Amino acid sequence: MSEKSWPVTTDMTILDIISQYPGTEKIFKKLETETGVCVCCQALYVPLQEAATQFGFDADQVLANIKAEIDQGI
């Protein structure tokens, strides 16, 4: 899938991502062990890249995980 047609980007809010692809919520829940905070609770209305900067996780890795989940047909 080309980047141009890819529907999820790091400038989307976490809420928008989870709303469009509910199965991705588990990806954000797993970040709690890495960051020590519930990203869904603390950054639901924040763009993915901004949340990554704020909480210290790799936005590109999370985006790759989201792509993998979507590709699996969630």
CA dist., res. 58 & res. 48, Å (int):
10
Residues near 11 by beta carbon (within 8 Å), at least 6 away in sequence: 47, 48, 49
Confidence of residue 1 (pLDDT cuts 50, 70, 90): very low
Question: Within a 10 A sphere around the Cβ of 38, how many other Cβ atoms?
Answer: 14
**What's the whole-model pTM score?**
0.86
Q: Which tokens is 68 given?
A: 């993998």
Q: 3-state class of 38 per DSSP?
A: coil
pLDDT tops 60 at residue 3: no
- What pLDDT does residue 6 have? 74
Structure confidence at residue 22 (pLDDT): 94
pLDDT bracket for residue 73 (50, 70, 90): confident
Domains in the chain, please, with CATH?
A: 8-71 (1.10.3910.10)
